[in-house]
Amino acid sequence: MKAASALSSEAPLAGAARSVRGARPLRDATELRDAVSRIRAALTRDVPAERIADTLGATFETLRSRTSAARRDTLRKIGRSSGWSYALLDESVDALLRPFTRRALDALAERVRARREVFGFVMPGNVPGAGIHELTLALLAGAGVVVKAASAEPVFFNEFARAISEIDRSVGERLTVFAWDRGRSDLTATMRESVECLIAFGDHSTIDALARDGRIIGFGSRLSAAVMGSDAACGANLESAASAVARDVTLFEQHGCLSPHQVFVEAASTDTARGFAVALAGELTKYARRLPPPARLPLEAAAAIRREREVARWRALGGGEVALFEGRRLGWTVIFDPAASITPSPGYRTVRVSVIANLDELKARLAPASGRLEAVSVASGNPEAYAAAMRSLGVTYVSAPGAMQSPPLDWPHGGGAMLELAGITP
């Protein structure tokens, strides 16, 4: 679930990473082969799909509960390594895990085709928990799973596996989590050779490096946006719509493929769209108080945000119809750029607001990212027309504003290849 931006899936989430206990470091290829052998042995022991679904349901309940010691400990560990605030992680993980209810897990378990292979997962480091939809699907299907946790985020899946084992050891034996540096291509090659299918997340260079045979499902860089109809961008709906978009921008520091980088406002004049940009800036200010941004940003991201700000500032000084709204330090940035086509931002709550006249113009503005679009939130009096148009551009998830980080369990991420592997028609 990697955003199409300059943020590397193996770079620290924010600031300098601190030493945090996470996934067990993998020492050598023999240890990995032994782990796969143990998982294959576990798969010979019958565990009903209902039991797996119940175990996963209990695990997600634990991780969703804000009073759970396991959840608090997990978020603190992620916060120490990432520099993200506990409050931000708390709300972000809530959004990610909201769809993983027992009822939804039971319903999905009834639809999957049973698998008894071992799958390998190469997880991204940009968003804690990214890949959880696909991992859950594999476990529900009865498959065994080896996870390579990202060196930038070694905590989430290690704690997820620990929680499963504490609830039901028989299910936990089907999952193991390791960590190794991406430079250890020998270990990654061993995993690819040892499993029936490799599921890899990251930027396109990561996917290309792994795609040496036909046993890989890759989730490369993707991009998301928001669309505001004229009825949502002004009047009584303005504040609530701007707040919902600000939430989508804020959660996970805009690192994942479900975070909007640009807002398109359908309006007869630029004044309405500019008014939405002003309102969005105000709501991002509120979120920055409640969910503080990182105290320090990676140098590359900080430089990119400063560059975006300065370009907008100089364009405005030169008479361009551009406006810049910026938070303290580099906490958030809104650039009103009415004629812009979709453009990836540097992340960390950096977003453009543009104006469109109609649906056809929106499609033209999104066309440069066709095939790389993941999600679009829509607030409009005619949402069905917008949803159909977005799907024609390859968008896999159309949501209401404020719900972008909570796709359903059968979300056809990246086009739905993992669903097809599990025998599910989206």
Query: What DSSP designation does 348 have?
Result: S
Do 375 and 414 meet the contact criterion of CB atoms below 8 Å apart?
Answer: no
Tens-digit pLDDT profile for residues 308-358 = 999 999 999 999 999 999 999 999 999 999 999 999 999 999 999 999 999
Write the CA distances from 182 to 10, 124, 208, integer angstroms.
Answer: 8, 11, 14
**Which of 14-18, 153-157, 370-374 bottoms out in mean pLDDT, i.e. has the lowest?**
14-18
Residue type, 399: S
Cα atoms found within 13 Å of the Cα of residue 404, Cβ hemisphere only = 32
**Which of 14-28, 130-144, 205-219, 225-239 bottoms out in mean pLDDT, i.e. has the lowest?**
14-28
Q: Kindly give the residue spans of alpha helices, DSSP state H, lying in 195-324.
A: 204-210, 238-250, 270-290, 299-317
Show the tokens assigned to 352.
């453009």
Residue type, 173: E
- Give all domains of the chain, ordered by start, each with its CATH number: 2-219 (3.40.605.10), 223-399 (3.40.309.10)
Confidence tier at 149 by pLDDT (50, 70, 90): very high
Q: Kindly give the residue spans of alpha helices, DSSP state H, lying in 295-404.
A: 299-317, 359-366, 383-392
The helix (H) or strand (E) run that includes residue 155 is none
**Which of 15-29, 100-114, 408-422 bottoms out in mean pLDDT, i.e. has the lowest?**
15-29
Confidence tier at 380 by pLDDT (50, 70, 90): confident
pTM for this prediction = 0.91
- 3-state SS assignment for residue 261: strand
Distance CA 259, CA 193 (A): 34
Place of tokens 């929106």: 362
pLDDT at 9: 38
pLDDT at 232: 82
Q: Which of 115, 180, 122, 110 is nearest to 144 (CA)?
A: 115
pLDDT at 81: 86
- 3-state SS assignment for residue 140: helix
Query: What DSSP designation does 412 have?
Result: -
Could you tell me what percent of the chain has a pLDDT over 70? 92
Distance CA 249, CA 404 (A): 9
Task: Assess whether pLDDT exceeds 90 at residue 147.
Answer: yes
Distance CA 245, CA 228 (A): 10
Do 20 and 77 meet the contact criterion of CB atoms below 8 Å apart?
Answer: yes
Q: Find residue 135's DSSP bridge partners.
A: none
